Amino acid sequence: MNQIEQLISEMTLAEKASLCSGADFWHTEALDRLQIPAFMLTDGPNGLRKQAGKADHVGLNESIPATCFPTEVTLASSWNRALIEEVGAALGAEAKAEKVGVVLGPGANIKRSPLCGRNFEYYSEDPYLSSQLAKHAIQGIQSQGVGASVKHFAANNQEHLRMVLDVQVDERTLREIYLASFETAIKEGQPWTVMTAYNKVNGDYCAENTHLLKEILRDEWDFEGVVVSDWGGVDDRVASLEAGLDLEMPGNQGINDQKIIAAVQSGALSEAVVDTAVARILRLAFRVQEQMQSVTDDSVTHHQLARKAASESFVLLKNEAQSLPVASDKKVALIGRLLEEPRIQGGGSSRVNPTMMDTVQEQIHMKLTEEGAASYYPGYLLNEDTDADLIQEAVAGAAAAEIALVFLGLPQHYESEAYDRQHLQLPVNQTELLAAITEVQENVVVILANGGPIEMPWLSSVKGVLETYLAGQAMGGAVADVLFGDVNPSGKLAESFPMKLSHNPSFLNFPGEKQQVAYREGLFVGYRYYDKTETEVLFPFGHGLSYTNFEYRQVTVDRKELTDEEEVTVSVTIQNTGQRSGKEIVQLYVQEVNSQVIRPLKELKGFEKVALEAGEAKVVQFKLGKRAFAYYDETRHDWCVTSGFFNLLIGSSSQTILGSQQVYVTSTAVHQLKFDRNSLIGDLAKTPAGKQVLQQMNLAPEPSDPADSNDTQLMDEMTNKMPLRSLVTLSGGRFSEETLTHIIETLNANG
C-alpha cells in the first residue's frame, strides 16, 4: 500500500466526500486529522486574479495587483512557443509568490464564431496552432512548480447559455477540430489539471461526459491529473464522479457531499470511484505542498516581459507606402479616447488588477526628437454618443499634423465573458470620426484594440492598420516600440478576419436555439471554410506584415514516398532581403490531392518563427508524421491515412503559398473490409479475395461498340456501384441467393 492508499484507507466516507469539492470559492478542503493540506486555485490566463477579499468568478471584486500580460488572442498572434512559455513561467512565478497552487488557464477552445464573447481568452480557429501554444503556456506555468488548468474541456465556443447549452457535434469534427485543440496540450504539456466546460456535448454535460472524460481524456490520452469542474458547472455530482470528474469547484456547502455519501450507502455508486477521485486530489495537494516555498517575484521584469510579448504579437495588417514606422521627427496627431482609457484586457473571470500601466502618449513622447511633436485629441466617447466638438477638434489636429495615428477599438461592454458579441462593427461614432479625419489627412494609420475580428468597410481610406488586440498593461510601450520601429512587427493572425460576419461558416446557426447549437459547418471552421468555398476574406489566417521583406526558396523534402509510420522532413530557405532585422512566421499546410473523404483544402501542420538579420538566410525544417496526413474515421474510431498524394505547402499566410512539394503516403493499416449484401461490387477490388471473385465472375457485359469509351465508362460505373445483391437479380440466373451467401462468407473468411 502506498502513502495515498494508506491515507484513504484511514478516511471515513464523509471525509472522502468532503475532499471531492472545494472548501470555499478558491480553496480545496484540508483534512487536518490526516495532515492533508488545502491549496488555492485561481484565474488565469493572462495574469493572476487572486482575490484576497470577496470572491466571485466573473471579475467583479478586486484582486491583488499582478502583471496583466497580453491576453491569449494577442499572444497567439506571436506564434512564438518560447515567448508563450516565458510568459507562462512569469505567471507561474507570480502565482507561487502568492502561494497559489493551480492557475486556471490557459484556455484552449476553438474560435468557432468571431462573436464568442470570450474569444480573447482563446488562441485560434486552428487546432494545431492552439494546441501547440496551450502546451507551451502549460509548460511555462508548471516550470515554476505551479499547476495549470487547461480549460474549458470541451466545445465551449460561445457564452450565450453557456451553463445549459447542448453542443451537437459529429465525432469527426469533435476529434479533428475541438478536441485536437486540447490533445497535444494535454498529452505533451501534461497539465496538472483539466477544467471541464459548462456546456453539454451531444446531450451530456462535459462534467458528466463519460465519452469525453473517461474514454478520451483518461483512456486514450492517458491523462493522470485532476479533472476539475468549471465554477458551478456540476449538475449531477454522482454521475460526474462516475464519469471521471474528481474535484467540484467551488465548495457546495456539503450538499453534493451528502449525495455522494447517500449514493455509496445505497449501492448506486461504488466507493472505489470516490477513492480514485480522492487519490488524484491528494496527489495534487501533496505536489502543490512540495513546491510551496517562499519566492519573491519581480514586477518590473515582468512588466518588461509584458511589453516584449505584446510588441512581438501585434499584427501589422496593412502598411501602404511604408507609412509605418513613423520617423521620430514627425508632427503626429494622436487621436482616440482609447488612449486615455485603454482596453488592455477582456471582461470577466480573467480580469487582472495591473501592477502598473504604460500610457501610449507618454511612451510616444519618449520616442520623439526635438523636431517631433505629438498632440492628443479624444475624438469620440466610449459610450458611443457622437460629439461634434470632439470630432472637429480631432479633425483640425489631424489636418495640422504630418500623420494621424487613430486609436479605435471595441468599448469594454462590446465583448466579455458571459455574453457574446452582437456584430463585428466598430461603434458608429468611431467610424464617423475616422471618415472625417481621412477627409483632411492622407496619412492615417489606425491602431486597433479589440478581442476579435472587426469588419473594416473603411480599410481603403487609411494607409495602415496595426492590430494590437487586448495587449496587457505594457501596451503603451509596446505600441510606441512598433509604431516608431524599435520593434519590427512580427505577429500574424491566428484567426481569419471575414469581410462580413455573414460570411462566417457558423453564422446560420450561432448561437443556436432552444438551448442547443448544432455545429453544422462541421470541419469547416475559419480558413478551412473560406478556402474551400473561395470566400474572399478581409485578412486571411496567418497574415501579418513586417517592416522588412522575406524571400522563400528551395522547398525540399528528404523523401518523396513514405508510409504512414514514417516521417518526412520538409526544408525551406528563408532570407531577410530587406534593410532591417525581423522575424518571419513560416507556415506549413498539408493538402490531400484526391481525397476519398471530405476534407478541408489544406490544414496547418507546422509553423516556425525565425529571426533574421538584414540579408541573413536560414533553413527552416519541419517533420511530418502520420497525424499530419490523417483524418479521424468515425467507423474505425481511429486516425486513418488513405494512400495517396499529398501537397506540402509552405507559405507566409494561409493564402500566400510560396513553395511546395508532393509526397506519396502509403497507409500501413490493414483494415479488414467486411462484406454484406449491400457492399459495392467495386469494393471487391480492394481485397485479394475480392479481386479473385471479380475475375471469376467476369461481370461486365460487352458494350455495344467496344470503341465507344463512353459506353465502357458507363458500364463500369454502373457495375462498380451496384450492391452485391444485384448479382442475384440482374445476372439472368447465373447467381442464386445461395451462391451469393457463399461468396460473401468466403470473402469475409479470407479477407
CA distance 358 to 367: 14
Q: Which three cell numbers stand for residue 462?
A: 487609411
Out of 16, 27, 57, 337, which residue is the one contacting ligand BGC (CB under 6 A)?
57
For residue 153, state whether it binds ligand BGC (rule: CB under 6 A): no
Q: Nearest to residue 382, comparing CAs of 341, 329, 423? A: 341
Three-class SS state of 739:
helix
* Cβ distance to ligand BGC smaller for residue 54 or 321: 54
Q: Is 275 a catalytic residue?
A: no
Out of 349, 468, 490, 506, which residue is the one contacting ligand BGC (CB under 6 A)?
349
CA distance 70 to 77: 11
Q: Which residues of 191-227 are buried (b: 16+ CB within 10 A; e: fewer)?
A: bbbbbbbbbbbeebbbbbbeebbeebbbeebebebbb
CA distance 733 to 37: 80
* Cβ distance to ligand BGC smaller for residue 151 or 318: 151
Tell the smallest beta-carbon distance from residue 464 to ligand BGC (Å): 35
In angstroms, how far is CA 670 from the centroid of its own chain? 33
Q: Which residues in 102-131 contact ligand BGC (CB under 6 A)?
A: 104
DSSP state of 507: G
Tell the smallest beta-carbon distance from residue 350 to ligand BGC (Å): 7
* Cβ distance to ligand BGC smaller for residue 421 or 626: 421
CA distance 455 to 432: 15
What string marks each residue from 78 to 107 as x (binds ligand BGC by CB under 6 A) or -? --------------------------x---
Backbone angles phi, psi at 135, to 5 degrees: -55, -45
For residue 297, state whether it binds ligand BGC (rule: CB under 6 A): no
* Full 3-state SS string of 366-428: HHCCCCCEEEEECCCCCCCCCCHHHHHHHHHHHHHCCEEEEEEECCHHHCECCECCCCCCCCH
Q: Nearest to residue 164, comparing CAs of 222, 203, 219? A: 203
Tell the smallest beta-carbon distance from residue 240 to ligand BGC (Å): 16
* Cβ distance to ligand BGC smaller for residue 288 or 332: 288
Q: Which three cell numbers stand for residue 104?
A: 486556471
* Cβ distance to ligand BGC smaller for residue 98 or 230: 230
Tell the smallest beta-carbon distance from residue 169 to ligand BGC (Å): 20
Q: Which three cell numbers stand for residue 372?
A: 517631433
Tell the smallest beta-carbon distance from residue 465 to ligand BGC (Å): 31
Tell the smallest beta-carbon distance from residue 27 to ligand BGC (Å): 13
* Cβ distance to ligand BGC smaller for residue 197 or 693: 197
How many other C-beta atoms can be found within 10 angstroms of the C-beta atom of residue 608? 18
Q: To the nearest 10°, report the CA torsion of 485, 486, 492, 497.
A: -50
* Cβ distance to ligand BGC smaller for residue 230 or 584: 230
Tell the smallest beta-carbon distance from residue 38 to ligand BGC (Å): 17
Tell the smallest beta-carbon distance from residue 179 to ligand BGC (Å): 18
DSSP for 651-720 reads EEETTEEEEEEEEEEE----------TTSBGGGGGGSHHHHHHHHHH--PPPPSSTT-HHHHHHHHHHHH
Tell the smallest beta-carbon distance from residue 423 to ligand BGC (Å): 24
* Cβ distance to ligand BGC smaller for residue 229 or 587: 229
* Cβ distance to ligand BGC smaller for residue 104 or 344: 104
Please report the sign of the dihedral spanned by the C-alpha atoms of residue 434, residue 436, residue 438, residue 441.
negative
For 315, the enclosing helix (H) or strand (E) is strand 315-319
* Cβ distance to ligand BGC smaller for residue 234 or 338: 234
Q: Which three cell numbers stand for residue 373?
A: 511633436
- Please identify which residue in the block is written with the cell numbers 465556443: 157
Q: Which residues in 34-53 contact ligand BGC (CB under 6 A)?
A: 43
- Angle of helix 388-400 relative to helix 428-440, nearest 10 degrees, comes to 30
**Number of alpha carbons in the 13 Å side-chain half-sphere of residue 244:** 23
Three-class SS state of 19:
helix
Q: Which residues in 731-750 contact ligand BGC (CB under 6 A)?
A: none
185: left (phi over 0), alpha (psi -120 to 50) or beta: alpha
For residue 151, state whether it binds ligand BGC (rule: CB under 6 A): yes
* Full 3-state SS string of 55-105: CCCCCCCCCCEECCCCCHHHHHCCCCHHHHHHHHHHHHHHHHHCCCCEEEC
Q: Choosing from 126, 230, 246, 420, which is the catalytic residue?
A: 230
Tell the smallest beta-carbon distance from residue 229 to ligand BGC (Å): 10
Beta strands 353-354 and 65-66: pairing type? parallel
Q: Which residues in 196-235 contact ligand BGC (CB under 6 A)?
A: 230-231
How many other C-beta atoms can be found within 10 angstroms of the C-beta atom of residue 502? 9
Q: Burial, 296: exposed, middle or buried (Cβ in 10 Å; 0-12, 13-18, 19+)?
A: exposed
* Cβ distance to ligand BGC smaller for residue 26 or 469: 26
Tell the smallest beta-carbon distance from residue 253 to ligand BGC (Å): 18
* Cβ distance to ligand BGC smaller for residue 107 or 140: 107
Contact by Cβ (8 Å): 219, 173: no
CA distance 440 to 444: 10
Tell the smallest beta-carbon distance from residue 53 to ligand BGC (Å): 15
Tell the smallest beta-carbon distance from residue 246 to ligand BGC (Å): 16
Size of the site for ligand BGC (CB under 6 A): 7
Contact by Cβ (8 Å): 21, 281: no
* Cβ distance to ligand BGC smaller for residue 43 or 248: 43
DSSP for 551-573 reads EEEEEEES-SEEETTS-EEEEEE
DSSP state of 124: -
Binding site for ligand BGC (CB under 6 A): 43, 57, 104, 151, 230-231, 349
Residues assigned a catalytic role: 230
